[in-house]
Structure 1
Amino acid sequence: MHTLEQLRAGQLAGVRRLKLACGLTDFPSEIFDLADSLEILDLSGNALSSLPDDLPRLHKLRILFCSDNLFTTLPAVLGSCPALEMIGFKANRLCHVPAAALPPKLRWLTLTDNAIEALPEELGKCGQLQKLMLAGNRLSHLPASLSNCHRLELVRIAANRFTALPDCLLALPRLSWLAYAGNPYTEACELAALTDAGAAGVAWQRLELAQQLGEGASGVIYRARLDGRDDVAVKVFKGAMTSDGLPRSEMAACVGAGAHAGLIPILGTLDAHPQGAPGLVMPLIDAAFRNLAGPPSLASCTRDVYADGMRFDAPQALAIAHGIASAVCQLHARGIVHGDLYAHNILHAHAGACLLGDFGAASMFVPGSPQGNWLQGIEARAFGVLLGELIAHCATPLPALQTLQEACLQQDVLSRPQFEAMELALRDMLPA
């Protein structure tokens, strides 16, 4: 975090990244003094409602974050910024996105938690677009032209007003991570999952919270003692909206997933939190489990970041691949797509033991339906990306896994293998 005083005193000359959060109501003109170096500008958490017409003077600016401000229109000047490829305007008051606001090199657009009812058809001309985050708006349709965005890999349209899943998404050749829960056409399935699964309620008063274990986009996880004797983990959701969707949708998917060796069990949903926050109570996971990778960075966009030197032996890689395929196979059989099938959402431990977690982007579908076949094909591509990462970090070649990976990545969505078949194939690859 930088200060306005540092900027005005010339102490930030030559910086590539600038972050200011100090109640700004106007764009500081001194930022233009950094035009020859500035690539990342973060003005989130201020009170801005406009940007200057000469913003393109920041000719090296690649990334702009203006979340938690007061914008009602996505500034048209963004479209004239020659190097701009990543835009984040989460949690503003946006209701209008003009076509002129879309820069030619746009790769990553985040407009989560606003009041947008429509997007311009020109969005389909953004040929470099990889990541589109629109959860928590008022959208009931997407531009049909989006079917032209053949590089698009991650889409978030949860918690909007869709009465059906937009057809323009289903055949996208690279789409791998899709979240659409919390829309009118998914509400009945989500409520049924919460009701039919019979998840017990766990009263807040029965829990004694200890240290924080972790924090994600949707909530904070604490270690706790249940009824004074059992160690558990408690996930308390942060608010009404996350980057992926609604807490209710995540809870529905978690309890609807059922018991499986590759899934984190659910003991119950949280009741009577003092602030009314929803939550989940889960068994405490063995401390030996670690995240398989870190989440995507600004540079990697849609690809996870692995620790330097991360290596698996062949039995480990195959065990992880089989364990995840088996878990996803059960999800699909129960009408759930994970939506965020990434290494950073996988915990792994001894000899390839693994757990698939974080259902924040999970969505529901009707098993056996034509649309369900498309959705499973989309998730198969995400699995193909994961297989490629396991292969890349494996100490020895895995030709059979390579063949399966290539099948998952083929452009024709419906030609990709189903998880039931992949689970069987991977089981046969495991060492005797």
Structure 2
Amino acid sequence: MQTLEQLKCGVLEGCSSLKLSEGLTSFPIEIFTLSDTLEYLDLSSNNLSELPKDFGRLKKLKVFFCSNNEFVTYPQVLADCPKLDIIGFKANRIIDIPTNAISANLRWLILTNNQVSAIPASIGECYRLEKLMLAGNRLTALPDELQNCKALALLRLSANEIEIIPEWLFTLPKLSWLAFAGNPCSRNSTAEIEAPVIAYDSLQIKDRLGEGASGTIYRASRAGILQDVAVKVFKGDVTSDGYPEDEMSSSLQAGEHDTLVKILGKTDNIVESKTGLVMELIPKHYINLGNPPSLKSCTRDVFEPNVQYSAKQIINILISISSVANHLHERGIMHGDLYAHNMLIDDEGNTLFGDFGAATMYDRTKLSNVYALEQIEVSAFGYLVDDLLSLYAANHNDEFSMALGSIKDACLSTETHSRPNFEEIELQLAEIKLAV
């Protein structure tokens, strides 16, 4: 992170990336000295509430983050930056989005955790839009014009006030990752869930294992039990995926499956008023299959360089994921984040799948098109197949890769209703495995 003093002194002349977080209450005009080179600007975690009228002078700006500030109105001047394609205004106080404020060039828009009640119809002009993050607002409906955004692949609608999911959403050809928990149109089955309650004071918290948007995972020991466990303590705030309590409900409702991390119970952190899940500890030899999308890849996972997998590893991974996805949808759960970065594998391709932060529970008996949500998730599976084929260690024109290529193409069909379901995919993969 740079400083305002460095900027004023000219030390940052010619830089393409700038990040300032110093409690700023007004936009530093010195930023315009970088207008010929600046491509990435992050002014998050300040006290800004407006941008200058000539903000469009930043003609080369591609990425602008302004989260955790004090904006009430989405700045219309953002539309004056011709190359700006990633914008993030998470956790402001935005109520209003002017009609012409959303640039048609946008590829990724983050408005998580604001007070937006309506998205302007002009969003339908964003033909490049791939990723739209709207969780934690006051939306009651989506503009019909959004159906014109044929490139839209990831949509977060959780923690709003949406009564009905429009039918056209199910026909978007690229939509693969959808979350809408915490709305009237989703199913809340907290009352149906029974899980052992493990007293928080019976756990001895040890080292931190990891942290995500919704919570922190710790290693812990339990009194009288030799084997350590993992404890996920939820932060209690609205995340980019929705409410932590919806994640807990979906995790518990998912039940048991060989590919799911086994949940031992839930706990209450009385001291900090936080809830948590107690899970089996994942063996150390499991590693992440992929890494989350980058700013460049937007909706697609990225992988470590030179990583390759055998046919046996790939088929084991895919059978595991198709099986658990079928298991979840039979229970009326859409995972919403079917990505390699949420999967852990061992050397044989044995797979564990987790992170229900974007999961949505839905009522299969009331949905007009009962398979529509599953077919959206099938598209995400198609991208997983595509990723693994790109990492295949052998001949990409052999029978194995061609067979998987056919499954990938079927999963990614732009005719969404023609995609196979996960039960059919699992059967096809089982046949392929016989030849591996």
Calculate the TM-score normalised by the size of structure 2: 0.96
1:228: how far off?
Answer: 4.8
- 1:75-224 correspondence to structure 2 within 5 Å: 75-186=75-186, 189-190=187-188, 192=189, 194-224=190-220
**CA deviations over 1:153-182 (Å, ceiling 9, x no partner):** 000000000112233322100000000001
- From 306, 322, 326, give the equivalent of 1:329: 326
Residue 349 (structure 1) aligns with: 346
Residue 404 (structure 2) aligns with: 401
Instruction: Say which SS state the counterpart of residue 211 (structure 1) adopts.
Output: strand
Residue 422 (structure 2) aligns with: 419
- From 309, 333, 336, give the equivalent of 2:306: 309
Residue 429 (structure 1) aligns with: 432
Residue 242 (structure 2) aligns with: 245
Residue 268 (structure 2) aligns with: 271
1:33: how far off?
Answer: 0.6
Residue 373 (structure 1) aligns with: 371
Separation of aligned partners in 1, 2:364 and 2:223? 38
- The answer on 1:234 being equivalent to 2:231 is yes
Deviates more, 1:197-206 or 1:139-148: 197-206
* Partners of 2:269 and 2:276 within 8 A in 1: no
Please tell me the residue identity of whatever aligns with 2:127: G
**CA deviations over 1:353-384 (Å, ceiling 9, x no partner):** 00111110000122364333111110000000
* Partners of 1:118 and 1:141 within 8 A in 2: yes
Separation of aligned partners in 2, 1:272 and 1:67? 29
Residue 58 (structure 2) aligns with: 58
* Partners of 1:82 and 1:104 within 8 A in 2: no
Please tell me the residue identity of whatever aligns with 1:142: L
Listed as ranges, the gaps of 5+ residues in structure 2 are none
Please tell me the residue identity of whatever aligns with 1:253: S
Instruction: Say which SS state the counterpart of residue 430 (structure 1) adopts.
Output: helix
* Partners of 2:49 and 2:70 within 8 A in 1: yes
Deviates more, 1:323-332 or 1:97-106: 97-106
- From 234, 251, 257, give the equivalent of 1:260: 257
- The answer on 1:286 being equivalent to 2:289 is no
Separation of aligned partners in 1, 2:219 and 2:86? 36
* Partners of 2:104 and 2:123 within 8 A in 1: no
Number of aligned positions between the proteins = 428
Separation of aligned partners in 1, 2:16 and 2:206? 40
* Partners of 1:203 and 1:273 within 8 A in 2: no
Separation of aligned partners in 1, 2:430 and 2:255? 21
Separation of aligned partners in 2, 1:132 and 1:171? 17
Separation of aligned partners in 1, 2:360 and 2:369? 13
Separation of aligned partners in 1, 2:221 and 2:101? 51
Listed as ranges, the gaps of 5+ residues in structure 1 are none
Residue 39 (structure 2) aligns with: 39
Calculate the TM-score normalised by the size of structure 1: 0.97
* Partners of 1:115 and 1:138 within 8 A in 2: yes
1:412: how far off?
Answer: 1.0
Deviates more, 1:334-343 or 1:272-281: 272-281
1:108: how far off?
Answer: 0.3
